[in-house]
Amino acid sequence: MRGYTLIELLIVMLIMSIIGVTGYVNYKDYAIRKETEKALGQIQTILRLAQTNATTSTVCNGLGGASWSVQFETDQKTITLVCGPANSSQKTYSLENVKISSIAGSGCQEIGFSSPVIITYSSGQGALTISPSENCLQNASTIRFTVENTKDSNVTKVFNLSKGGAVNAQ
């Protein structure tokens, strides 16, 4: 007689189950990390878009030479691209399964989200200002953003925005 015994089949099924569970857990962790990295990329893209629009004097609502801003809302998940002296909303972005857990300047305490945090690039030069106008943030050479996954608070990503406009993800 040829074939497998019941014990052999059970052992193979046990091994397959262990491999399957391990793969699922690793995939879940991978997906959470990728969500956080995606959000980080979105924020960087929005900041670069505002900076590019300001330095190239992109027309905003029929007005040339407008400043462009990125507004981080108090819910820590909504980001709005605005332009011009009237702060006209151009596009609103919503982060999925992540939030901006903190914003801090080099050598500064983290600022809260009791009011929107606004990063503005001036027209032509693209010089960066931030409000609320915390003295420490205005004088800081680098502003640090921490992005946290809402499914797993242990998964965070950090990126730095220099006063010169460079965005550096870590």
Query: How far apart (Å, rounded) are the C-alpha atoms in residues 72 and 4?
Result: 63
Phi/psi class of residue 165: alpha, beta or left (left: φ > 0; alpha: ψ in -120 to 50)?
left
Residue 134's pLDDT is 63
**Cα torsion 56, 61, 65, 69: sign:** negative
Residue 103's pLDDT is 85
pTM of the entire structure? 0.79
Residue 93's pLDDT is 93
Residue 64's pLDDT is 74
Residue 116's pLDDT is 84
Residue 133's pLDDT is 65
Residue 135's pLDDT is 62
Q: Block means of pLDDT (10 residues each) for the chain, length 170 residues?
A: 88 94 86 90 90 86 82 91 85 91 81 80 80 72 88 88 77
Which CATH number, 3.55.40.10, 3.30.300.30, 3.60.20.10, 3.40.50.11930, labels domain 6-169? 3.55.40.10
